[in-house]
């Protein structure tokens, strides 16, 4: 799942609110903070949808960004194979087999956990995105108008 304000939600109000932030402020940091807050209910729902797991797959469900997604900005939500320099899948955590559980394999039936989580929590995530963006815009504009020291530059 990818949380991207323009792509997933299509909320003109969110985009309009974020455009009010002055150019001297790093908008991407704000977007990422709001995206991470909006991803929390989806992560919790996905973790609760996983059955018969020893905990590796549940722990691997995270909100993360990649080098390419930080340019948009965007945030991915789902199983992440961690362990950077790990050579074997067992050392990477449970994220490497998340797709096999979600979509199934030739030998096992699919047991979706991400799609139901996204479908059940999408509206809640959208509300969090919109509320978070409004709060950030109000906070930044208040500081700019008051002439206070800029923290987010």
- Give yes or no for a contact between 150 and 143, defined as CB atoms under 8 angstroms apart: yes
- Choose among 26, 31, 28: nearest CA to 11: 31
Band of pLDDT at residue 3, cut at 50, 70 and 90: very low
Q: Beta partners for 98?
A: none
Dist CA 18 CA 29 (whole Å):
12
Dist CA 16 CA 14 (whole Å):
5
pLDDT in tens, 97-141: 888 889 999 999 999 999 999 999 999 998 998 888 788 777 777
* Dihedral over alpha carbons 130, 133, 134, 135 (to 10 degrees): 120
Q: Is the pTM here over 0.75, yes or no?
A: no
pLDDT in tens, 40-97: 999 999 999 988 776 788 888 989 888 888 777 788 899 987 755 666 666 666 677 8
């Amino acid at each position: 799942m990818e949380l991207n304000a323009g792509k997933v939600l299509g909320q003109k109000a969110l985009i309009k609110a974020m455009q009010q932030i002055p150019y001297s402020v790093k908008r991407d940091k704000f977007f990422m903070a709001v995206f991470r807050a909006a991803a929390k209910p989806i992560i919790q729902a996905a973790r609760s949808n996983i059955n018969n797991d020893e905990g590796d797959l549940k722990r691997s469900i995270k909100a993360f960004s990649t080098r390419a997604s930080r340019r948009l900005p965007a945030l991915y939500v789902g199983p992440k194979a961690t362990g950077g320099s790990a050579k074997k899948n067992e050392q990477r955590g449970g994220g490497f087999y998340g797709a096999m559980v979600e979509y199934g394999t030739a030998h096992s039936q699919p047991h979706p956990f991400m799609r139901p989580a996204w479908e059940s929590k999408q509206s809640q995530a959208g509300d969090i995105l919109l509320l978070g963006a409004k709060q950030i815009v109000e906070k930044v504009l208040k500081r700019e108008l008051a002439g206070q020291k800029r923290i987010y530059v």
